[in-house]
Amino acid sequence: MRKSVHAPLASAGDGPYSQAIVSNGFVFVSGQGPLEAGTGNIIGTTIEEQADLTLRNIQHIVEAAGSSMDDVVQVTVYLEHMSDFNAFNEVYKRFFRAPMPARTCVEAGLDNILVEIDAIASVSQPTNERSQSNE
């Protein structure tokens, strides 16, 4: 069984995809960027500002799925400029505790944003009523 996750406090994006899918005890979070919930506007001009909002979007989504940032097991980070790596890490460390999730970080040609992140987390709690079944 798969369940779609909708977190109203995170940007819904504009494509034909779910914010996240819960399946087999894991939540798979779609790529998130520095988009404001409700408007979809890009927020922030620095890597620090954009990384903070992107990670907050992920946090809202994993929490809506019945998980937490402590349950994130894998993260993929796409940076527009690899020169932002150290500044990004300073923000990233505020959202995760040891043991840190496994992570891949690559430089990517992003469209008008400095960072995009997807994640996988384990789900130990049942999903809440914001999730929708897609059997």
Query: Can you give the pTM of this predicted structure?
Result: 0.91
> Is the C-alpha dihedral spanning 53, 57, 62, 64 positive or negative?
positive
Q: Specify which residues 23 forms β-bridges with.
A: 2, 26
Q: What share of the chain is helix, strand, coil (3-state, %, to 5)?
A: 25, 30, 45
pLDDT band for position 73 (cuts 50, 70, 90): very high
Q: Is the pLDDT of residue 132 over 60?
A: no
